[in-house]
Amino acid sequence: MVVGGIVSITALILSREPVTMMLPAGVVALNHCETFTTTAGIHAARRRALARVRTEHVFFLDSDDSLPHDIADVLDECVAAGRPLAYTDELTVRPGMAPLRSRPAPYDPVVHAGSPLMVHHLALMQTAAALSALRLIPSGDVWIEHPLYWQVAQGGAAYVPRVGYHWHRRMNGMHRASGIVAAQARGTAWCIRRSGADEFKRRTRDAAVARAAGF
């Protein structure tokens, strides 16, 4: 992650408070402060923050989440994959419950179009690919991550079967707010249209038939 003393990865951290999180060598936090009150404002802020990234790679990190102790090794594997997008397993942590590890499948653009959690945390993007994708995805009241990751992955995506993120999910977290749920749905609808709605419907129907048949 550090070549010739140059930091090659930026963590874009979403936070309401000053960030004191410790990051591994080779990863820098981008200090970008904005005030917003709508999902469209969140989208626009993330676009502006991405435009300020000067490293080769970038990922989103929420300040109330955390990274595993071996994140430096995980990031090294993601970079070594050499794809515009590399994504990992995540550990979902809920109060009073045992942590749950998610294990996404190898990348499939049609599956990803309808399943935002296929590429969730950690998702490491090549910055140039992310900036190019921003010119193609919808703006406004659309949750940015799903369309952004889907569009970046059209240039190639690698699944790294390591835990790269600890998602501290709370029952009253902002992911449950009605405005955010609606913005996420709009992002998913865009991805499905781009992936080919007919193919998505066919494969979804085939999967449902297979389940009904006991396969």
Q: What is the pLDDT of residues 12-53, one digit of tens each?
A: 987 767 777 788 888 988 776 777 778 888 899 899 999 999
pLDDT computed for residue 120 by the predictor:
92
**d(C-alpha 46, C-alpha 43), whole Å:** 5
The DSSP call for residue 88 is E
User: How many CB atoms are located within 10 Å of the residue 31 CB?
Assistant: 10
For residue 85, pLDDT over 50 is answered with yes
Question: Which pLDDT belongs to residue 14?
Answer: 76
pLDDT of residue 176: 52
Q: Which CATH number does the domain 2-212 belong to among 3.40.50.300, 1.10.10.10, 3.40.50.720, 3.90.550.10?
A: 3.90.550.10
Q: How much is the pLDDT for 209?
A: 42
Instruction: Domain ranges for the chain, please list them.
Output: 2-212
Backbone φ/ψ region at 4: left (φ over 0), alpha (ψ -120 to 50), beta: left
Confidence at residue 37, expressed as pLDDT on a 0 to 100 scale: 79
Q: Please say if the pLDDT value at position 189 is more than 80.
A: yes
**Percentage of the chain surpassing pLDDT 90?**
57
